[in-house]
């Protein structure tokens, strides 16, 4: 004998309830992050209006704005952080001179912060995985590289955003 499922059976199913909760959380996150994304786009447009940026820098800025709600970038963000940790352990620097110039602009940190928040809202499960890696990378930089904590977290944030974006979209 088979039992017919009723609406109450479906509503009482924990998987169904988890899916509904996930959708509600996602809609709420997207609503909350919208002003952050708009500010990111505004900063990028402001920077692109300046003639001093080369093609590589412009492509990075454009891709950052275009993919700030990317689920795939959220999946790769933890790997970007892991690659930074590996580079720190091996004491190698893989940042191009062009990207150093872009990173020297104070708006780059604002873009990176907004980008990471936006990607985290698009993929909160990946963000939960990336956060402990980010903290571990921060401590590694403070201990191994002797960087001040503020400098270390800003560099880790900017570089992990850059690498995750670069590995997703071949910037």
Q: What is the rounded distance in angstroms from the CA atom of residue 49 to the CA atom of residue 91? A: 36
The CA-based diameter of the chain, rounded to the nearest angstrom, is: 74
Q: List the chain residues with pLDDT less than 70.
A: 1-3, 5, 7, 10, 88, 91-95, 138, 141-171
Chain mean pLDDT for the chain:
78
The confidence score (pLDDT) of residue 167 equals: 52
N-term to C-term CA, the chain = 59
Are 108 and 115 a contacting pair, CB within 8 Å? Answer: no
HSE-CB of 42 using CA atoms within 13 angstroms: 8
14 φ, ψ (degrees, to nearest 5): -65, -30
pLDDT score at 165:
61
What's the CA gap between 108 and 114, in Å, rounded?
A: 10
Predicted confidence at residue 171, as pLDDT, reads 43
Residue 111 C-beta-side C-alpha neighbours within 13 Å: 28
């Amino acid at each position: 004998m088979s039992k017919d499922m009723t609406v109450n059976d479906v509503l009482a199913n924990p998987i169904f309830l988890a899916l509904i909760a996930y959708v509600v959380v996602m809609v709420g996150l997207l609503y909350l992050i919208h002003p952050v994304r708009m500010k990111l786009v505004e900063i990028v447009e402001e920077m692109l209006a300046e003639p001093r940026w080369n093609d590589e820098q412009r492509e990075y800025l454009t891709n950052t704005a275009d993919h700030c709600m990317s689920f795939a970038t959220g999946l790769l963000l933890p790997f970007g952080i892991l690659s930074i940790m590996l580079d720190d352990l091996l004491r190698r620097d893989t940042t191009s001179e062009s990207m150093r110039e872009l990173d020297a602009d104070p708006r780059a940190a604002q873009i990176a912060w907004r980008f990471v928040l936006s990607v985290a809202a698009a993929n909160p499960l990946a963000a939960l995985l990336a956060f402990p890696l980010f903290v571990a990378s921060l401590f590694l930089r403070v201990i191994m590289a002797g960087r001040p904590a503020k400098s270390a977290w800003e560099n880790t944030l900017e570089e992990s955003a850059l690498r995750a974006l670069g590995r997703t979209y071949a910037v």
